[in-house]
Amino acid sequence: MSKSRRTRRDFLKAAGIGAAAIVQSGCGERRRPGARIMGGPSKDAVREPARDVPVVYACDICVIGGGSAGVFAAVRAARLGAKVALVENNGFFGGVATAAKVNVWHSLFDTAGRAKIIGGLTEEVVGRLDRRNAVILTESSRSRYAVFNTFEMMIELDELVREHANIRPFLHARFVAAAKKAGRMTHAIIEDKSGRRAIEAAYFIDATGDGDVIDRLGLPFTKNDDLQPPTTCLFLYGLDGVKDSNSAFSLGQVVYDSRYANALKRGFLWYSEAVNMPGALMVAGTRVSGADCSDADQLTRAEMEGRRQARCIRDIVHDNFKGAEAVSIVGLSSCIGVRETRHAVCLHRLTEKEVLGGVRFADAVANGSYRVDVHHSDKPGLTFRYLDGTEVYLVPGREPVAGRWRPPQEQNPTFYQIPYRSLVPRGSKNVLVTGRLVDADRGAFGAVRVMVNGNQTGEAVGAACCLALRSGSNVADVDVRKLRDTLAEGGSVVI
């Protein structure tokens, strides 16, 4: 004991850590009151002693991040016979769809509403929720979409995982580091209630949204200067009484009304039905502009600022309108909804021109019809661009500004595609990305980031890892014809 303590002190000293800053306790190190906090601009560092990390599980494919894209990657791989680990930081699966309470999956059809372009696990899960009366299928002038009960989604994803004995789930498990050998990732190091543990796998999928795996591995990524802002969603109850008493009431306008001291900075507010919660709406109206949620300190501030803004929304209505006595927050996202952080640099960067032009790819693994939807971080509102050449700039409280991003043409594309190459990081031998990590420029990302698209990329990388496993190849060398056939056999729409 004394020897190891001496050793520890020695390297702390060598690392330039003053003995005064650290006190040894029975179970580790504690900071003395008043000692400088680590992180930020400090030059100090603590060198951890080298240690052996137990390998808790060895498998074929390790999926890191259990949003719907990650879950679907794991399920697809498991259905193809692989032994899979699924690692999720939260105590449940679903990511933005459950933790952040975003309850809308967009259309499975092309923009004409005629051809089905998305099937697979997205369609299967919508069907499963429908059988539980936990989804509302809605049609608007521009598209059809599914609004679901986020709590039922959470449990349904558990069921889906549980049905596959060859998936080992790890919940409350945070990926913290990657081990690699000869350019291949060999282990995912996780921290969970049991401590620090390792998962060994032949292939890995980064489904963290933020690219934690590619970052720790040193694979290339980019970050846009003007990241789309994150949003804290809330379930707001009691607006019916307000609307009954104030015929012109518009939630999307009043929260930005500068007559109220707690008005939000002009952004964009939308809401949807809160399925199975009569009298409540799911409201997405907060936005924390400029926050990079892949930075720990900015994420902390964004979480607290998002919740502060959620309270402002409730208070503005409750305190200023007739019939608002019952208005209250009855549900809040358990983490802020992050729209954008890192993008993997992959073999192909999907462009807005390709998306809006409906370019077809020989290695297409996903189809989409959701518009280009860019939430501006430098000005209020958002811009929608459609495949038919039209565009709309929307700002709360103002008339929508309609226009065209290109002149009319005889025929318009009715869907776009995502190529497999946009999921293969440059330089990667055995790691793929999925979900919002897809390599896409700003405009293309505005379209492909939605969940019905991300879900398909999850299924694609799950299947691709299985094919790579069978042939012993690197992920870049997967036979894309075979991949597309495999996806079609598993229920995906492959065009």
Ligand X SMILES: Cc1cc2nc3c(=O)[nH]c(=O)nc-3n(C[C@H](O)[C@H](O)[C@H](O)COP(=O)(O)OP(=O)(O)OC[C@H]3O[C@@H](n4cnc5c(N)ncnc54)[C@H](O)[C@@H]3O)c2cc1C
**Where do contacts with ligand X occur on this chain (CB under 6 A)?**
64-70, 87-90, 95-96, 99-100, 102, 104-106, 174-175, 207-210, 212, 230-231, 233, 284, 337-339, 435-436, 449-452, 454
Residue 432 contacts residue 203 (beta carbons within 8 Å): yes
Question: Which two three-digit tokens encode residue 479?
Answer: 């036979």
Shortest Cβ 425–ligand X spacing (Å):
15
Question: Which two three-digit tokens encode residue 202?
Answer: 């032949």
Shortest Cβ 445–ligand X spacing (Å):
9
Residue among 84 and 99 whose Cβ is closer to ligand X: 99
Residue among 212 and 388 whose Cβ is closer to ligand X: 212
Shortest Cβ 483–ligand X spacing (Å):
20
Residue among 245 and 334 whose Cβ is closer to ligand X: 334
Residue among 105 and 237 whose Cβ is closer to ligand X: 105
Residue among 175 and 235 whose Cβ is closer to ligand X: 175
Helices (H) and strands (E) in the chain, counts: 12, 24
Shortest Cβ 95–ligand X spacing (Å):
2
Residue among 148 and 361 whose Cβ is closer to ligand X: 148
Query: How crowded is the C-beta side of 483, counted as CA atoms within 13 Å?
Result: 29
Reported as type and span, the H/E element at residue 471 is helix 451-471
H-type alpha helices, 34-147? 68-79, 120-131
Give the span between the Cα atoms of 393 and 376, in whole angstroms.
10
> Which residues, including other chains, have CB under 8 Å from residue 351's CB and lie 6 or more apart?
440, 441, 443, 444
DSSP state of 118: -
Specify the pairing of strand 372-375 against strand 382-385: antiparallel
Shortest Cβ 182–ligand X spacing (Å):
24
Shortest Cβ 175–ligand X spacing (Å):
4
Shortest Cβ 22–ligand X spacing (Å):
27
Residue 212 contacts residue 175 (beta carbons within 8 Å): yes
Give the span between the Cα atoms of 477 and 463, in whole angstroms.
14
Residue among 238 and 337 whose Cβ is closer to ligand X: 337
Q: Which residue is nearest to ligand X (CB)?
A: 435
Shortest Cβ 470–ligand X spacing (Å):
26
Shortest Cβ 368–ligand X spacing (Å):
10
Give the span between the Cα atoms of 158 and 169, in whole angstroms.
9
Give the span between the Cα atoms of 238 and 321, in whole angstroms.
12
Residue among 274 and 450 whose Cβ is closer to ligand X: 450
Residues across the chain: 495
Shortest Cβ 292–ligand X spacing (Å):
14
Reported as type and span, the H/E element at residue 367 is strand 364-368
Residue 198 contacts residue 190 (beta carbons within 8 Å): yes
Give the span between the Cα atoms of 219 and 114, in whole angstroms.
40
Give the span between the Cα atoms of 191 and 200, in whole angstroms.
14
Tokens 């409201």, residue?
283
Tell me how far CA of residue 316 lies from CA of 233, 308, 362, 403, 487, in angstroms.
16, 12, 52, 33, 49
Give the span between the Cα atoms of 185 and 191, in whole angstroms.
18
Shortest Cβ 294–ligand X spacing (Å):
9
Residue among 70 and 490 whose Cβ is closer to ligand X: 70
3-class secondary structure, 306: helix
Residue 303 contacts residue 253 (beta carbons within 8 Å): no
Residue among 211 and 358 whose Cβ is closer to ligand X: 211
Residue among 208 and 417 whose Cβ is closer to ligand X: 208
